[in-house]
A and B are shown apart, each in its own frame.
Chain A
Amino acid sequence: MREISDSTVEIVTEKARVIRRDIIEMLGKAGSGHTGGSLSAADIMACLYFWELNLDPLKPDWDGRDRFVLSKGHAAPVLYASLAERGFFPREQLGTLRKLGSPLQGHPDRKKLAGVEASTGSLGQGISWAVGMGLAGKIDAAPYRVYALLGDGELEEGMVWEAVMAAAHYRLDNLVIIVDNNGLQIDGPIKKVMSPEPIADKFRAFGCETIAIDGHDPRAIMDALSCARQVSGKPTAIIAATVKGKGCSFMEDRPEWHGVTPNTDEVQRALAELG
């Protein structure tokens, strides 16, 4: 297992803070987009992009890179902030979110932005794409790993379970499925809309090594990612308990912030809270 020092935790925590600030600022400027589900995934993304993923921003198409697929494509702002922070494009470009001609649009577009592995947005499809990448890695005996981040509402898509079944069947231990389990979807609590619970039990039953963690605890996230590297013969599912809108008290745990952006005052309040 890899050592996770206090300074590593500090660095990742700081990156998550910056990513959250970027999300608020870019969504404030854009005037439309998905705020709550971007903020809930910020700690997970900071751990992935600043600790876990083997990437080279100067060679975004490098064959040996790890692959990250944002299956919950509507959380594009958290991906853009992570990619910019990691050096895939200048941070100033974040201000162009959803603007005419910008490569940063409402859902990630791999043809427009380096570092985006798959154009996603239609829920359920990204994880299958990731399974395909994992299969290719196995066929080639390539050392790269594949990561897919899913929403918990996304688990209502039947296709997700086809993909999980295939990942377990083909023993894809190079694949890590992370569920941003913030408990809310656009119509309300997932348990009320169409409950995918018990989530961890389902992934376990489908044949995944399943780890349930606090998705806002960087050490727990990094521990889980390290554990996944030790798993052999099956994929790992990390069920990360998160809070939608995490970091901005007036957005936290409120489904109305799924697809709404902060106004000027709210941007200031959110940034003040984030520090």
Chain B
Amino acid sequence: MRNAYIKAIYDLAKEDKNILALVADNGAIVFDQFRCDYPEQFINFGISEANMVSAAAGLANCGKIPFAYTIAGFITMRAFEQVRNDVCLQKQNVKLVGVGAGMRYSAQGPTHHATEDIAIMRVLPSMNIIVPASPREAYAATRWAAQINGPVYIRLEATNEPEIYEEDYEFQLGKGVILKDGGDITLVAAGSIIHDVLTAANKLMEKGIHARVINMPSIKPIDKDIIIEAAQETGKIITIEEHNVIGGLGSTVAEVLLENRCSVIAFKPMGLQDCFGKGYGSHAYIKTKNGLSPEQIIENCLKMIGTLY
């Protein structure tokens, strides 16, 4: 996703000189081509996220379209008040791009995880939140973000996430995507964990259970219709996210269900159960350690179905 973002910002910069790539000491190597070809459109703020975000607002106020990029936890948490006051309150055309979100920096430990970022960005009026699940989605979402006038948070992971879309995929704000249809249970996910969900869904099929899999790249605004429909048609919903279950995708889906009087039979949010990410190691290991492996998804599905049948 990171490389897809860098490709997108490069292409955008080529098309519009007002597009700026802002970084906070994360430019090395990956931005080399950008820096070389568009030096005037690249600003390194050094290790100072707060200043980068407020300065981005000042740049946007003068007609620039700054994409402020750094580690997800740093841009959403270190600079939270700057995002609130200078970007959202004053509706400046600033795009925040967080990399390494969730527990993707699994070996770096919890100081480098971002497992509360969706929750705190969600409470900010005027903020749009995009959680791409694959490189193509990251590319499409970045290009989309440049077209709209207003704040966007793009939550990226890192590199080598498998692709789930065809080449012609177009991102649509406020739209979820059904990746696999099914009527027994619905699995809603955001981010690259969608692959674990698809793995789980395929294994469930071997057991004769048909799970609907929805990728939800647009967390704010959320696709209400796709959730309501899933509730009505499958009666069971599990959300899966690399984020605290408080305030993230699970909470968002739950709000939609309650607000719309959905007669959902069962609902379970999978994610960090009000804790920080545990353990150090590979991404797959960390996800398992924190209850987010395909096997654990399957187990939750079986429990939900078993208790109800």
Chain A residue nearest to B63 in the complex (CB): A136
Interface residues of A in 87-137 (CB under 8 A from B): 110-111, 117-119, 121-122, 124-125, 128-137
Closest chain-A Cβ to B50's Cβ sits at a distance in Å of 5
Which listed residue, A125, A133, A162, touches B48 by the CB 8 Å rule?
A: A162
Question: Within 8 Å CB of B13, what residues of A?
Answer: none
Q: How many A residues are at the interface, by size bracket?
A: 20 to 34
- Chain B residue contacts of A111, Cβ below 8 A: 90-91
Whether B280 is near chain A, meaning CB under 8 Å from some CB there, is no
Contact A132 B58 (CB under 8 A): yes
Q: Are A166 and B58 in contact, CB atoms less than 8 angstroms apart?
A: no
Cβ contact within 8 Å between B51 and A128: yes
The answer to whether B45 and A130 have CB atoms under 8 Å apart is no
Task: Verify A118–B90 contact, CB threshold 8 A.
Answer: yes
Contacts of A137 in B (CB 8 A): 62
Greatest chain B CB density within 10 A among A117, A121, A129, A165 is at: A129
CB distance from B24 to the nearest CB of A (A): 10
With A122-B81, A166-B48 known as contacts, the answer to whether A131 contacts B64 (CB < 8 A) is: no
| Neighbouring A residues of B54 by C-beta, 8 Å | 125, 128-129, 131-132, 159, 163
Residues on A with beta carbons closer than 8 Å to the beta carbon of B62? 132-133, 136-137, 140
Task: Say yes or no: is A139 at the interface (Cβ < 8 Å to chain B).
Answer: yes
Q: Which residues of B contact A119 (CB under 8 A)?
A: 85, 89-90
What are the residues of chain B within 8 A of A125 when measuring CB–CB?
Answer: 54, 81-82, 85-86
Within 8 A of B (CB), among A51-79: 63
Tell me the nearest residue of chain A to B51, going by C-beta: A162
Complex Cα gap A110–B82 (Å): 16
- A163 — which chain B residues lie within 8 A by C-beta? 51, 54-55
Task: Give, as a whole number of angstroms, the nearest-CB distance from B41 to chain A.
Answer: 8
Chain B residue at smallest Cβ distance from A169:
B46
Q: Does B43 contact A (CB under 8 A)?
A: yes
Q: A159-B54, A165-B48 are in contact. Are A129 and B86 (CB under 8 A)?
A: yes
Q: Hey, what's the 0/1 contact readout for B54-75 against A, CB within 8 Å counting as 1?
A: 1111111111101000000000
Q: Which residues of B contact A133 (CB under 8 A)?
A: 58-59, 61-62
- The distance in angstroms between the C-alpha atoms of A234 and B48, with both chains bound, is 20
Contacts of B59 in A (CB 8 A): 132-133, 135-136
Evaluate contact between B50 and A129: CB separation under 8 angstroms. no
Residues on B with beta carbons closer than 8 Å to the beta carbon of A139: 20, 40-41, 64
Contact A131 B58, CB 8 Å, known A162-B50, A162-B51: yes
Which chain A residue has the least Cβ–Cβ distance from B62?
A: A136
Residues of the A chain whose Cβ atoms lie less than 8 Å from the Cβ of B58? 118, 128-136
Residues of chain B within 8 A (CB-CB) of A169 are: 46
Instruction: Say how far B64's CB is from chain A's closest CB, in angstroms.
Output: 5
Which partner residue on chain A sits nearest B59 by CB separation?
A132
Q: Are B43's CB and A135's CB within 8 A?
A: yes
Nearest CB on B from A162, distance (A) = 4
Distance in angstroms from B22 CB to nearest chain A CB is 10
- Our pick among A130, A131, A166 for the contact of B46 (Cβ within 8 Å) is A166
Nearest to B85 among chain A residues (CB) is: A122
A170 to B43 Cα, complex, angstroms: 9
CA distance A163 to B61 in the complex (A): 17
Docked-complex contact A159 and B64, CB < 8 angstroms = no
Q: How far is the CA of A120 from the CA of B3 in the complex (A)?
A: 36
CB distance from A59 to the nearest CB of B (A): 16
Q: Is the CB of A131 within 8 A of B51?
A: yes
**Residues of B with C-beta under 8 A to A140:** 62
State how many angstroms separate the Cβ of A116 from the closest Cβ of chain B. 10
- Nearest CB in chain A: distance from B56 CB, A: 6
Name the residue on A nearest B55 (C-beta).
A132
In the complex, are the beta carbons of A159 and B50 less than 8 A apart?
yes
Using Cβ atoms and an 8 Å threshold, which residues of chain A touch B51? 128, 131, 159, 162-163, 165-166
> Which of chain B's residues have a CB closer than 8 A to the CB of A124?
50
Q: Which 4 A-B pairs have the closest CB atoms?
A: A132-B58, A128-B54, A136-B62, A132-B55
List the interface of chain A (C-beta within 8 A of B): 63, 110-111, 117-119, 121-122, 124-125, 128-137, 139-140, 158-159, 162-163, 165-166, 169-170
A-B contact pairs, 28 of them (CB 8 A): A118-B57, A118-B90, A119-B89, A122-B81, A124-B50, A125-B54, A125-B81, A128-B53, A128-B55, A128-B58, A128-B86, A129-B55, A130-B58, A132-B58, A132-B60, A134-B58, A135-B43, A136-B59, A136-B61, A158-B50, A159-B48, A159-B50, A159-B54, A162-B45, A163-B55, A165-B46, A166-B51, A166-B55
